[in-house]
Structure 1
Amino acid sequence: MSTITTKDGTEIFYKDWGSGQPIVFSHGWPLSADDWDAQMLFFLQKGFRVIAHDRRGHGRSSQTATGHDMDHYADDLAALTAHLDLKNAIHVGHSTGGGEVVHYIARHGDSRVAKACIIAAVPPLMVKTASNPGGLPKDVFDGLQVQVATNRAQFYYDLPAGPFYGFNRPGATALPGVIWNWWRQGMMGSANAHYDGIVAFSQTDFTEDLKKIKVPVLVMHGDDDQIVPYADSGPLSAKLLQNGTLKTYKGFPHGMPTVHADVINADLLAFIKS
């Protein structure tokens, strides 16, 4: 397996296919690089170099006890881009991975970055605070931690079978393979990393990060996202970015890169070529 070792000794697994302009994919919680299969194959066939890593504590990376926060996530991504000496890269992040991409560019600069895309992403801030009244109450995220700690295997079935892909909506057709692939990816990772990761994705405020980013950023979000509600995420991020473009998908769920890969891939390709 291809891995790098970070400065704190964590092994980060990654995939690196093809040649050409690099596209780097950052996955959502609690998944792995495998969640990008539909994008990596598509862009590989379009002549791009495609790279995706398993976040620390997720997938095939080290199940380290520490470092499950956005600073470490961003630093791990920076270590990978430096190890591969990537230049003129496109960074794409889904959900928690969108926060990772935003924090990486703001924290490490854009010298290696051409453009970015955040899809159904957690910025600017998920949790409700005095300055973020549209956020979700903290007890929502506390409840997620309880489920990870007490009944993770069942929780990791119920989430994709229901709100993650919108399979709980009237008339929706659930796809068992998609549900079980989500479960497989989740159960590969560390319960500890996933437990701490809930705090990382819900309580990190990306407002100042978004303001710092100068490269073009495409913000994709479905208006039926039941995981990262649309009104308090995509539109706000696009306004904070210096060069942000919002693309709203009517009726699309949180997991739209998987269940609507044809639409997402085409729009991402158009953005990269623009």
Structure 2
Amino acid sequence: MTANNQTITTEDGVEIFYKDWGAKDAQPIVFHHGWPLTADEWDSQMLYFLHKGYRVIAHDRRGHGRSTQTATGNDMDTYAADVAALTDHLNLKNAIHIGHSTGGGEVARYVARAKAGRVAKAVLIGAVPPIMLKTAKNPGGLPMDVFDGFRTALAANRAQFFLDIPSGPFYGFNRPGAKVDQGVIWNWWRQGMMGGTKAHYDCIKAFSETDFTEDLKAITVPTLVMHGDDDQVVPYTDSALLSVKLLPHGTLKIYNGFSHGMCTTHPDVINPDLLEFCMS
């Protein structure tokens, strides 16, 4: 593996873009973004924790944002391996890993397999574990036709699909009386369109069909599970409520009326709660 400026190159030749701000001897917080976004999803959290004295790091997942638009490796095992390559390169110790949505799955898979001393705590926000897909073992999950619909819409007109999601369910802007933030919608679209359509297409399978049950059971560090009860993308009853039961040291925090994108719409609430957990 080689490093150049703010990228690393993985063993299979994929360039992973990352941000790394703050004192190198400060406790690191690593942020993992959701589908189909980028490290920029964490703007409000990165600045907040930087100003609180932490070292803040966020990467663009392979196929997303400024990283290589990969044709292969768009699966959870490879995503976690990419994180391991980044944390090895930066030699992170005692890090707090915070993941949103698909990034929460990435956190679960990475933390469950991380080298000793690398991870201090974990946070799953609106996260996809244990598994999104409806199966015999997960009767409360979403049916396959939901995710097939995602794939069909992405293949047909990705640009329009990436406007429809943030304009509606992602931030709850489709709710009666919602205060719609057009800049937030455009920024979601901007991030999504930076990535590769093949990687985004493949990632739908990764976030919907991967079973994180054993990963959650294997996480030995304190883990905070945060979820909005009006999350229209990842329903909390089949994710947060189940995940916290599987985590050996899990804590659950549910936010009344908050959407899937609550880190962006309510950083004034989410950031202090994250800080309290990081400092505890």
TM over 0.5: yes
Which of 2, 15, 39 lines up with 2:6 in the alignment? 2
Matching residue's letter, 2:89: H
Task: Please list, as runs of the form range in 1=range in 2, the aligned pairs for 1:1-274 lying within 5 A after superposition.
Answer: 1-19=5-23, 20-274=26-280
AA aligned to 1:14 is Y
Q: Contact 1:106 / 1:210 at 8 angstroms: preserved in 2?
A: yes
TM-score by length of 1: 0.99
Deviations 1:93-114 (A, max 9, x none): 0000000000001123453000
Q: What are the Cα deviations for residues 14-47 of structure 1, in whole angstroms up to 9, with x where unaligned?
A: 0000021000000000000000000000000000
Tell me, in whole angstroms, the C-alpha distance in 2 between the residues paired with 1:110 and 1:199: 30
Q: Which runs of 4+ in 1 moved over 3 A?
A: none
Letter in 2 for 1:50: V
After superposition, the C-alpha distances for 1:91-142 in whole angstroms (9 at most, x for unaligned) are: 0000000000000011234530000101000000000000000000011001
Instruction: Give the Cα separation in 1 of the matches to 2:20 and 2:80.
Output: 19
Superposition RMSD on alpha carbons, in Å?
0.7
Identity %: 73
Output the CA distance in 1 between the equivalents of 2:39 and 2:232.
Answer: 22
How many residues align structurally?
274
Q: 3-state SS of the aligned residue for 1:164?
A: coil
SS in 2 for 1:62: coil
Q: 1:162 is aligned with what amino acid?
A: G
For 1:240-266, what per-residue CA distance to the aligned partner results, in whole angstroms no more than 9, with x for missing partners?
Answer: 000000000000000000001111100
* C-alpha contact (below 8 Å) 1:4/1:11 kept by paired residues: yes
Matched residues in 2 for 1:262 and 1:90: separation?
20
* Deviations 1:161-195, CA, capped at 9 Å, x for gaps: 00000000011011000000000000000000000
